[in-house]
Amino acid sequence: MEESRDLILGEIKELAGIDAGQLLEMGLLTTDHAKKWVVKKRYFQMAKTGRTYTDIKNELSDCFGMSVSTIEKLVYRRQRA
């Protein structure tokens, strides 16, 4: 669990330039929500490179331990207000 937490924190640092460790420690951000944010950001970043959407979803699924279906829901489902 600690390894996946560190992976997520590293991804957030790279994508947003912030250290989210304190937010996780204080309970303001959960690892699950952070992972979903990272996967969604990575998806759109990778899509701009011209890779197929199927390849992107499969790679993210392997990397972050999420099902392709879950990734599709994150990416394609409209956000509630």
Mean pLDDT taken over the chain? 92
One-character DSSP codes across 14-27? HHHS---HHHHHHT
Residue 40 pLDDT > 70, yes or no? yes
The Cα 18–Cα 38 span in angstroms is 13
Q: How far is Cα of residue 66 from the mean position of the Cα atoms in its chain?
A: 10
Q: pLDDT, tens digit, for every residue of 2-28?
A: 778 999 999 999 999 999 999 999 999
Task: Count other Cβ atoms within 10 Å, centred on residue 49.
Answer: 7
> What are the tokens at 62?
């392997």
Instruction: Report pTM.
Output: 0.88
Flag whether pLDDT at 36 surpasses 70. Answer: yes
Domain positions in the chain: 2-76
